[in-house]
Chains A and B, each alone.
Chain A
Amino acid sequence: MKNKLKKALKLGILIFGFSLLLWNCDVMENTARQEVQQEGTITEISFDEFKLKANLNNQAKNLSRFFDINKSSFKSSNNYKSTGGFENAIILTDNIIKIKKDNFTTYTFTILAPTENNEFYNLVLYVNDNQEIYKSHILKYKPSEKWLSDTTQYFSGSVEIINNDIFNVNNLLQSKTSQSAKSSSVAECIDDVIISYECSNGVEGHREGNPGSPDCVAHSFYYYITLITSPCTAGLGDDGGDFDPNTGGGTSTSGGGDSGIVTAPNTIPYTSQLKNFESGTLNATERTYYNRDSNTKNTIDRFLIERNFSNIAKTDAKTALDFSSKYKLNFEQFNWVFNNRDSEDLQELKSDLVDIGEITPEIEGYVKASINSEVETNNDAEIDFENRIINILEGKALCVYNKLMNSGTGFKNAIKKFDGKFPVSHLKFKFDPNMTSNTIRAYTRAPENYVINIVLNGNSTKDASYQKRPNLLVAKTIIHEVIHAEMFRKLLSLANSNGNINVSLVNRMLQQGDYPGMLDYYFRNGQDINSNWQHQQMATHYRQTIGRILQEFDTGIVVPLNEQPSQFYMDLAWEGLNDSDIIEWQTAINQPERDRINDVINSYTSQHSNQNCTN
């Protein structure tokens, strides 16, 4: 009996406990319902709701064509493939932040536009009680590292006001107010950022740890910011306003006029579709690459949005991300790959890479340099994948180069050292049409990422330019620079650090006697890698090579290796090595001979200036 009583008591306590729990849940649910029922200052709305509250037809004619829903008309008026500028900005309409104040309401949209360093843009529209859009601002947000590491937190970072250079129109709004504001063209800078907190049940002025009442019983809070502005100080620019709603601070505000810019960072465009693409379509490597650079992400996102997330669009995006992640391309290179996804240039490059198979750092460097050259020349670069030569010479320079390649074997053999069978470094020929020097005929740079650049003076107003100089001496310049490149190639083979020469390692190795030929010149010329040792070595050991190639270029007849080239070509070979600090020039020949050689070079130059080249 006693046991039965005990059991009944236990059961009673259990039932009471459950009912208490259910009652509590009911109270919480009611509170939640109350939260929902009370309309807050800040809400997220759809574009349809926005259209009911704001009259787009009269006040914002320019604005309409930038909305993503009107993207077909937008696309037809722009060159889609040109994504480098702001002209392709789109206003996203899927998620609009509405902030209701006493006399006005602001609507904040995300703008999808190219940015740097994970920055993003918002458009803030002011609407009055007559449903007129009467003011707009474009804001640029720079996220903090803290927020980037966890974007589920409330946004923190800095904000600045920018002029309307995103949209290619003079006045974003046609209203008188905005026109007069624009015409004054006084830039506004942010003095202060006031954070206003609002409980998710609509009560203003509270968050944990922040002074304000009444206490919030809801589980989360919203916040909006008021940007206090003043005219910028000329020349010093706007440093932007920092703010972090996660760490307290800020104050509660209410009512009043529209002084300051009232908004909240709108960070989430097409969230669910983009998340699906990221997690469902991309593999881990592609996903990492996609998230690595905000410009890449923006480009892909905009592309997918414009194409309504079609399967073809997703496949195109995935293919570009796959290729770009494999070769570790930067945004500019990725952008070329993406915009030229159907081009012959890219298909050829891909097919060459399939033939090669393995991706080595050297191949990676060459792919990057090839794409850079395509970007630089607007798809006009000649990429010789077999010989690993990128050529963006043109006109007479290209003609002389081609003639060199087709005359004899000397130049071809020199160039061969850079092809795929000698995977140390590769050549890139280009010209500088704006070179200011009247004496630099060309220069060679030390290898960077396995590629050695040879740059010809292409400023036709300068005496040292390839345009003004005789063909034979342009050929000499190219040979001279290729020999520099060969010397760099040897150094790189000795001390390679990710395709760059490791200078301290070269110093150590040379001093240990690992490369006797170079060591000799290195020590004799100041033990300084930047000294003239390359020219010293070239003057002593390479003049015959230069003279032979020049004679073959000029006559079309091969000069046998056991024969010396004619004196004339040997004289021309001195050009660039005939300086007073070159030991061979000073010691191997006397002053009358030096004068004679200089006369030969100068006479030939003046007699054949502005010479044309025909193949």
Chain B
Amino acid sequence: MKNITFIIILISQFCFSQQKVQQKTYLYFDASSDKTFSVEVNGKIITEQFYSKGINKNGDITFYINKEMFYLKKKEVDTCKIEYLKNIKISNLSNLKIVVNKINPLYPYKVFPNLYLVEKINDSIIVKYKVKWEYYIE
């Protein structure tokens, strides 16, 4: 009996650890948003787009949400039906940032290795980008 209990605990622990490893985190990337934030530059206030992305010649993309930078290698893109959104939880960047600052602020991608940006393309399609959250200092 003891052995069976031990095995059950071992299996459940294994399953739990597997789930943890594969946990995915999603952030919304709203390219159509007009939202901005302010930056102070040499005494002047300049506004920047809250969501922006720069596409490289090789297809890689650098996303910015507020001041955070996310890097996409061209291959890690997935197109899904909009219904997919029902199955996932979109996280709040500020909350993730708190976790990152606590655990490993210089390498955020190590804290959230399975991070996806979700962008709505039209009323029926979304695109998922698997991104690397990069730290930088200006």
Contact = CB atoms under 8 A, between A and B. Distances in A.
A236 B84 CA distance: 9
A514 interface: no
Interface string A444-483: 1110100000010001000000000000000000000000
A580 B53 CA distance: 28
B101 interface: yes
B44 A528 contact: no
A288 interface: no
Interface in B78-132: 78-81, 100-101, 103-107, 124-125
B106 A503 contact: yes
A235 interface: yes
Contact of B137 (A437, A439, A443, A501): A443
B134 interface: yes
B96 to A, nearest CB: 13
A578 B138 contact: no
B8 interface: no
Contacts of A530: 100-101, 105-106, 135
A442 B138 CA distance: 6
A432 interface: yes
A446 B125 CA distance: 36
A266 interface: no
A435 interface: yes
Interface secondary structure of A, over-half rule: loop
B42 A434 contact: no
Contacts of B44: 598, 602
Contact of A446 (B42, B64, B107): B107
Interface in A550-594: 575-576, 578-580, 594
Contacts of B100: 530
A484 interface: yes
Interface in B38-63: 39-44, 46, 48-49, 52-56, 62
A21 interface: no
Nearest to A500: B107
Contacts of A440: 138
Interface residues of A, number: 44
B136 interface: yes
Given A234-B81, A436-B64, A459 B135 contact: no
Given A438-B48, A442-B138, A578 B54 contact: no
A27 interface: no
A511 to B, nearest CB: 15
Given A442-B138, A528-B105, A598 B43 contact: yes
Contacts of A438: 46, 48
B54 A602 contact: no
A436 B52 contact: yes
Contacts of A444: 136-137
5 tightest A-B CB contacts, nearest first = A434-B54, A530-B105, A598-B43, A436-B52, A443-B136
Interface of A: 233-237, 432-446, 448, 455, 459, 484, 500-501, 503-504, 528-530, 534-535, 575-576, 578-580, 594-595, 598, 601-602, 605
Given A445-B136, A578-B42, A598-B43, 11 more contacts: A234-B81, A432-B62, A443-B137, A444-B137, A445-B134, A446-B107, A448-B107, A500-B107, A501-B106, A501-B107, A580-B40
